[in-house]
Amino acid sequence: MNQTDFLQIGQQKGYIELLNEGTTIHYITPNKKDRFTDPEEQVRARFYVELIEYFQYSPNRIDLEVQVPRRTPSDRADIVVFQDDEKKDPFIVVECKKDGISEAEFDQAIEQAFGNCNSLGGYYTAVIAGNTRRSFDVKNYKPGERSENIIADPPIGYGKVQEWRFLKGVPNSELTVIERSDLIRVLEKCHDTLWQGGKFAPTQAFDELAKILFIKIRDEKKARRDGEPYDFQIKTHETSESVANRINALYQEAKAQDPEVFTENIEIDENRLFSVVNHLQGISLNQTDLDVKGVAFERFLGNFFKGEIGQFFTPREVVEFMVDMVTPHHENLILDPACGSGGFLLHAMDYIRKQASDYYEEGSREHYTHWHDFAEKRLFGIEVNDSIARVAKMNMIIHDDGHSNVISNDALVGFDNLYNQHREFEEDKFDVILTNPPFGAVIKQSELPYLKNYELGKGNASQKTEILFLERCFDFLKWETGKLAIILPNGILTNSSLQYVRDYIERHFQILAVVSLPQIAFSHYGAGVKTSILFLRKFSKQEYERYQAAINQITKKNEAIYVPQITALEDERKAELLKGSPKQAFTMETFRPKFQESLDKIDTLNQKLDKAPTKKVQTLRSLFFPEMEPTPITEFELFDTQTARAELKKQTSELNALEKEYKAAFKAAAEPEWESQIKSEYKEKIDVVKEEWADKNAADIREWVRENANHPIFMAIAERIGYDATGRKDDVNDLDTIHAAYRKFTENPDFFA
């Protein structure tokens, strides 16, 4: 039974009524009113009705806000069930708290419940905090006991305490199917219990939660007769050690049956495990609607994994759009080589599940087989982070399987490595790839030698991951029919320095569509990079060879035009820098007469001795007098060679000293801002040429494609995509409109052209 049903039943049968547009609740028999906007009051109202309907206590014997003797005057018990109509003999004392309180707050509530129960002389007490509840036998144990006296639930109708609370197929004892918001709160409570205020890293805490959810789902699916208890629960008089032993045994059994999901043991202490079982024991993960589970788990992950870890999650609206655009078929092999939490795989599975309803009646064996076989045999994922790979597997188990083909590895390693881990990971294998590869990370040849094996990595010391993923996706896809939907930073589509990447795309793929996403697309996950989605089809081998030959020819032709322009600008820049700054130019002018005198003397002596000028003399003359021929002077007479050699040695020494003096003065006159400005100006000029080159190349290629390929490209800009920068829902989603337009485009591209 759903929690919300108790409120409905309470109103229908006249136990309660909601007043003032639902802001006030009136408990009819005790004739008490309270604020229903208070989350704690909502918990109390539900349990009040449950005490009447399920536990079979008369409204005449239930009271609220019962004053507790021997305690502060303001201390009152939330609900008390009495054994008599006069309400003088307390039987069950209940403490209600809002859903989602911390473990410490829950423990404090237990102490408050015990204090109230002991003061009132009650037999049993219960603490109710939404789906989390714990009950105790107070009367028959010492006042300080909190473990041995735990019971499965308060007794029904003053009877004997049940050994087990949750029994298969028994009305009112079955597991509860809960709503999305309740499931999110349960998951958050479990995580907070495991996280222990920071004792575990976030991914460690989630790892432990994933293990426990794995056991919970397995236990729900386990074959048992109606009336038999579920193993995943806390029974009467059971200690935390006993619960931990049973849960660990279930885990070892499940791990043996499915060794690919988890390899480590449960690593939390028995008290924490006991608390998590307490949070989860009463809900049915298996019977809860797939959409509810999917959205709840996704929201929980989105709320929990932010910032750095947020890179592993792609917003639901974007994922759904991409899956809808590629229209997967139940016989397709589908891959995400950077699968993160498994969003693309799950939505592909959901797409086929909905498709099954077009062919078969929902609930039929054929319907189930259609989508479940697809999930089990045709969905594949690779995730480099081992913990996040487990998130993906757990996410898929939550959605009812499809986890067995998700592996933890670097998708960029050699195919032999991937094939040895899973035989299905081969080249030219997959029909569809849906992916959002990691942005900005750099693969260095010194760290990962496989870089040299990539066409887009050869000759580079490093390369960005998203660029290598493009090539790896090409490798994975089938020739001719393989389709790729990939999210990429806009720089790949616009930066002139990445023209070679665009060339690669056009040599290898038919571009089907390009959809620009707004800046906010990933901002609530801590990423603000502008992105676009590319939809591509891998060429046939014949198409690939034809395109490559044509594009290489175009590229070579344009290189001959633009490379000389760039070289000329680089030479100009070098000459400008060689001249130096204005202050350095003044320094040069100051030294010019001195160098002229010195160099002329040396030239005269070289002429007298029939010697060629040294390289230094040539360099200095070309630096100071680039356009002047040497004009030796004859200020002194030299009557013999020996005197000339001595004089040349002396003049050379003086030239060296002058050069040293000049270099020091030139360096002192340097103006870094001027040098930076010159470099910046020439960079702009060179960038303009490169941009013209890139534009010309792209235009020539586009012209060739228009003339030879004869396929138009669908292009669209999405400004609003169903959520805002903070992740809150936006009623406007341009992606829906774009998808509808693309469908029309594929039916009649000439009309759009």
Q: Which amino acid is at 446?
A: S
- The confidence score (pLDDT) of residue 81 equals 98
At residue 309, the pLDDT reads 47
pLDDT at position 238 is: 92
Calculate ∠ Cα 501-504-510, nearest 5°. 120
Please tell me the pTM assigned to this model: 0.67
Can you list the alpha helix ranges (DSSP code H) found in 305-364? 316-326, 343-359
Q: What is the pLDDT of residues 623-653, one digit of tens each?
A: 888 776 655 555 555 568 888 889 899 999 9
What does the longest C-alpha to C-alpha distance in the chain come to?
A: 143
Of 410, 406, 419, 338, which Cα lies nearest the Cα of 378? 406
Backbone angles phi, psi at 6, to 5 degrees: -65, -35
- Low-confidence spans in the chain with pLDDT less than 50: 1-4, 307-310
Question: Are the CB atoms for 392 and 407 separated by under 8 Å?
Answer: no
Name the DSSP class of 654.
H
Report the alpha-carbon distance of residue 733 to residue 716 in Å, rounded: 13
H or E segment to which residue 673 belongs: helix 672-708
- Burial environment of residue 703 by CB neighbours within 10 A (0 to 12, 13 to 18, 19 or more): exposed
Contact 659, 617 (CB under 8 A): no
Domain borders along the chain are 3-162, 169-288, 551-580+675-704, 582-670
CATH number for the segment(s) 3-162: 3.90.1570
HSE-CB for 282 with a 13 A CA cutoff = 21
Residue 669 has a CB neighbour count (10 Å cut-off) of 17
Cα–Cα distance measured from residue 403 to residue 342, given in angstroms and rounded to the nearest whole number: 9
Report the C-alpha gap between 666 and 588 in whole angstroms: 7
Which residue shows structure tokens 């795309």?
505
Q: Is 399 helix (H, G, I), strand (E, B) or coil?
A: coil
CA-wise closest residue to 683 among 497, 425, 529: 497
Question: Which DSSP string do the residues of 46-65 spell out, in sequence order?
Answer: HHHHHHHHTS---GGGEEEE
Burial 147-178 (b: 16+ CB within 10 A, else e): eebbbbbbbeeeeebbebbbbbeeeebbbbbb
pLDDT of residue 79: 97
| Size of the chain, expressed as the number of residues it contains | 753
